[in-house]
Amino acid sequence: MERVKVMHQCGHNTKWNIISFIEDKIGDGLIISPADLEVNKVNDLPDSVKSVSYFDPQYYLPTSEKKKLNSYPFFPKTYLEGRQYSTQLSYKCRFELAKECVQYQKNNNYKYIVIPTIYEENFIDNTYDELEQLIITPFIDAISRLQCNKPVLLTAMINKNQLIIDDMNIQLLNFLTSYPEIDGIYLIPIIQRDVSQKRISDINLLFSLMKTINALKMADLEVHLGYTDVEGYLLTIAGPNSISIGAYENSRRFDIKKFGQKGRTQQPNARLYSNVLLQWIDTDYIDSLFSMFKKANELFENNEYLNLMLRTSYNWHFTKKEPYMHYFTSFSHQVYSLHNTLQERYNDIYKTLINAKQYFSEISESGVVLDAPSSGGHIDKWITALNRYATFKGVRINVQN
């Protein structure tokens, strides 16, 4: 097993990711988001950053009117000037569009060339054929024609049905592994959740996602997970090449609405990441935790950002950068500390989960009542999913007392 890399999933405040990567030296690179960074700003990034990063063309919603996306000449809406991005276009047109996108990535010397995908709510039988004709074949042709010598990632979105329904999962895996021209998958899980559920708690879903990552790795493909949150830590057991870290929640959980018209959304409460609890804690609980729970100072990694935030004068707000900078550092350290053999990594993650469970129990005993989005309802489910996968891989598992 290799060390899992941590990639910054750039979002609304890309500058925070850049500062964290360049100044704090956190993470292994950036996943550039054209929806959040105009083309001229991306061009200004240092070569040393681009060469370890990759560019996500974000064709998810080809008709998106987002200004920054459309600053890229190869974004479908810009390039096609009113024509629909579909297989009705001539192959020449689809190829030329792909060629522009690939040329751009090649010129910027990114670590990978990324083949995009479009967002599909429901996969039907001919969706794979459509994707192949519309995007994959033209892009593979363009990469070959331009003699790109960079490894190639294919973007793949994976929904709940494709994970848990066997036939659909097999179909997806057969599809993703049928292109010898690619080197890896940029895998984006699309998992719908209730608004109150911050963590994925579906054991079957988590286990299926781990198996899918494993199946792709066994097919000699790199797997780079995008739009992951704390779940990325658990998923490292399946050996992905990288997981992502993002600032705002819409860079830690894929939402197609990000690429559509900006609607009015409720402002979220500020949250602070606890590496011990494997959870984002609503900052409105910080005072009660430090008042009632003796070990509160053990819950959050003690880095430079924490000291600043715990000053009484600090004004918590979800738009402040410190909670995210703290999380980038804290979470990355947690991932980098994992061992690189399957048994040892299992032991590491298991130990962290048991520890989290114990801390949540002690918090409850102290009298602090956390609401569902801040609580540890996911921990037992994660332990089960971890053990299920470990058993599947023949790893010696631990049993909870």
Partner 1 sequence: MAAQGPHTPGYASPEQLKNEKRFISYKSDIYCLGIVLAELILGVNPFNPSIVGMGLSCNDNILNNSFCLRTPNITISDNAQEIISKMLRYHPYERYRKVSLLIKDLEVFIYGKS
Partner 2 sequence: MFKTEAEMIQLSMSNLKKTFFDNDETVQIIQEVQGLFGIPDVVLKADIIIAVEYKLSNWKKALIQAFRYKNFAHASFVILDKDYYHRATKNIDSFIRSKVGLGYVDETGDIIINYNPGISKPFSSRSLERINHIFETQFA
79 near partner 1, rule: CB under 8 A: no
CB of 294 to partner 2, least distance (A): 14
Which residues form the interface with partner 2 (CB under 8 A)? 269, 282, 284, 287-288, 291, 312, 315, 364-372
Residue holding tokens 């066994």?
218
CB of 289 to partner 2, least distance (A): 9
CA–CA gap between residue 141 and residue 137 (Å, rounded) = 6
Looking at 4, 61, 143, 221, which residue binds partner 1 (CB under 8 A)? 221
CB of 291 to partner 2, least distance (A): 5
- DSSP for 151-211, written as a single string: -EEEEEEEEHHHHHSHHHHHHHHHHHTS-TT--EEEEEEE----TT--S---HHHHHHHHH
Looking at 143, 215, 234, 353, which residue binds partner 1 (CB under 8 A)? 215
Residues 91-130 contacting partner 1, CB under 8 A: 128-129
Binding mask 160-199 toward partner 1 (x if CB under 8 A, else -) reads ----------xx-xxxxxx-x-------------------
144 near partner 1, rule: CB under 8 A: no
220 near partner 1, rule: CB under 8 A: yes
CA–CA gap between residue 316 and residue 335 (Å, rounded) = 26
Smaller CB separation from partner 2, 146 or 308: 308
Q: Which partner from the list partner 2, partner 1, none does 303 bind, CB cut-off 5 to 8 Å by kind?
A: none
Query: 51 with 111: CB under 8 angstroms?
Result: yes
The residue type found at 217 is: K
Smaller CB separation from partner 2, 237 or 277: 277
CA–CA gap between residue 295 and residue 288 (Å, rounded) = 12
- DSSP for 362-377, written as a single string: HHHHHT----GGGS-T
**Other C-beta atoms lying within 10 Å of the C-beta of residue 167:** 9
46 near partner 1, rule: CB under 8 A: no
CA–CA gap between residue 140 and residue 303 (Å, rounded) = 44
Q: Give contact residues for partner 1 (rule: CB under 8 A).
A: 128-129, 170-171, 173-178, 180, 215, 218-221
